[in-house]
Amino acid sequence: MRRLIVERTDAFLGRCRYVADLGAQRIASPTLVARRGDRMDAIVENRLPQPTTVHFHGLTLSEAQDGAGFDAIGPGATRALRFEVKNRAGLYWFHAHPHGFTAEQVHAGLAGLLVVTDDEDHALDTALALAPGNRLVLALADARVAQGVLRPYAPSALDCLHGWFGNRALVNGALDARLPVASGWVRLQLANTCNARGLLLAFQDGERDGASVPFFLLGTDGGLLAAPVPLERVFLYSAERVDVAIDVSGCRNVAAVSMPFDPRHQTRGGSLAHRHPAREQYPPLAAAGICAAPAGEAVDTLPDGAGIALFTLNVGGAARAAPPQLPSKLSTLPEAVAADATPRRIRLDFDERAGFLIDQAPYRADEIAFSVARGAHEVWELRNSPISMPHPMHLHGFGFRVLRRRGTFGPARALAVDGSGRLPTDLGIKDTVVVWPNETLWLALDFALPEDAAFRGRQRYMFHCHNLEHEDGMMMRNFAVT
Ligand SMILES: [Cu+2]
């Protein structure tokens, strides 16, 4: 890829896209594929009327390449993307992250997928005897649709408080996605790219009254687990990824759905409108006149936790012999090293006037909330207040391990895999993890950075909620690795 063009395609509805310029051809809304060790060497060209950044979510990158919110590319400006893909094979993604405009730009379509592969990853496909086309890489988003037309992003104060929820699923940008697959194993790498919606992913057999079709969890944010985990449902919050295998033999169509659940959005009333100085300086992406819904037009939305159809697998071709057994071992995960020192305690709170807070403070772009020594091992204790919302917390630059959960709400606790209260997705390497109201999580972090010249000196990163309305609502902090 020579250039990654960031452009608006529809000034009325405010839709945007990434275009990969490969020299000989251009690919709109690309899914990028790299092998571990490959180099990215491209120019980002911002053709939006707003500042933007390109954040490669989950990758180990230097501050200069991280695309963080404090490092925007102005309208008409360019920036070099130059880094080595150092991470394990897995599904990563890239999205806009300019402070104050993230929710609007991601909702507009500025979210793409990056699949990183390696020999172990290919060996798994061989072991599953995957038919051509049976490995699918999908971004799951939601949008508001009325009379068959996508509505532009125009959050109310209540949307800013709870998050922007649509009424239909978009799968790789398409409504009503029906994906042809062959009988046998299907491997799905799924990213939740919704602004705010949590998904409780399950599969249903369309021919058998929606009977549950079990599946195996193969991997999470940072690649494969040590061993597959048999499941019937899994939580996937904003920015989290799962890699699953599902045997569709004997089925004609399998529906992927988000099951209804109580997401425990609790507030003491009130609403929250975002107030960003930067938003005064640049126009919205959609035509200003239709940003507010016209009088009399109410677009029904499905709140967080409502059941929603995601996509359908249409199983074609002749049924084949029984598919091979899943391998019992998928990968070797590094041991989680829990530091002996006192945990770093981080509180998640909400204040009716100040909004969403990390350690009692809203985001300030010029602030470094805390510093961590390069190479340090730390334990972070993340505690969400009882009257709160689920917050999918994302750490830039570093994968981490979940050690323990306490106070997890019922529907999630029912999925716990061991006495530590960990969920199936907690068994892998994570970069985003949901913290439910009244829940406390303990994470093990390793702040080692690569030796390359690019990582010399102080490196600043972000820690924030990936409910994008909360993120734009200042639920974000900068920290430094020194
Ligand atoms: Cu949040």
In this prediction, residue 291 carries a pLDDT of 44
Q: Element (H or E) spanning 472, and its range? A: helix 468-472
* Contact indicator for 254, 223 with CB cutoff of 8 Å: no
Contact 248, 316 (CB under 8 A): no
In this structure, are residues 246 and 203 in contact, taking their beta carbons and an 8 Å threshold? yes
The three-class DSSP label of residue 468 is helix
Q: How many Å lie between the centroid of ligand 1 and the Cα of residue 403?
A: 21
CA distance 435 to 457: 32
CA of 244 to the centre of ligand 1 (A): 26
d(CA 466, ligand 1 centre) in Å: 6
Q: Provide the pLDDT confidence category of residue 205 given band limits of 50, 70 and 90.
A: very high
- How many A from CA of 432 to the centre of ligand 1? 12
CA of 329 to the centre of ligand 1 (A): 35
Cα 462 to middle of ligand 1, angstroms: 14
274 pLDDT above the threshold of 70: no
> Residue 83 C-alpha to ligand 1 middle, in angstroms?
30
Q: Cα of 357 to ligand 1 centre, how many Å?
A: 9
467 CA to centre of ligand 1 in angstroms: 5
pLDDT over 90 (residue 294): no
Please give the residue that has the higher pLDDT: either 156 or 432: 432
The yes-or-no verdict on residue 293 having pLDDT over 60 is: no
> Residue 207 is encoded by which pair of tokens?
């021919």
C-alpha span between 332 and 85 (Å, rounded): 19
Q: Which residues surround ligand 1, an ion (CB under 5 A)?
A: 391, 465, 467, 470
Place of tokens 């408080």: 161
Distance CA 141, CA 110 (A): 11
Q: What confidence score (pLDDT) does residue 271 get?
A: 65
Angstrom distance (rounded) from CA 231 to CA 197: 21
Q: Is the pLDDT of residue 268 over 90?
A: no
pLDDT at site 174: 95
Q: Ligand 1 centre from 85 Cα, in Å?
A: 29
Q: Measured in angstroms, how far is the CA atom of residue 439 from the centroid of ligand 1? A: 13
Single pTM value for the model: 0.96
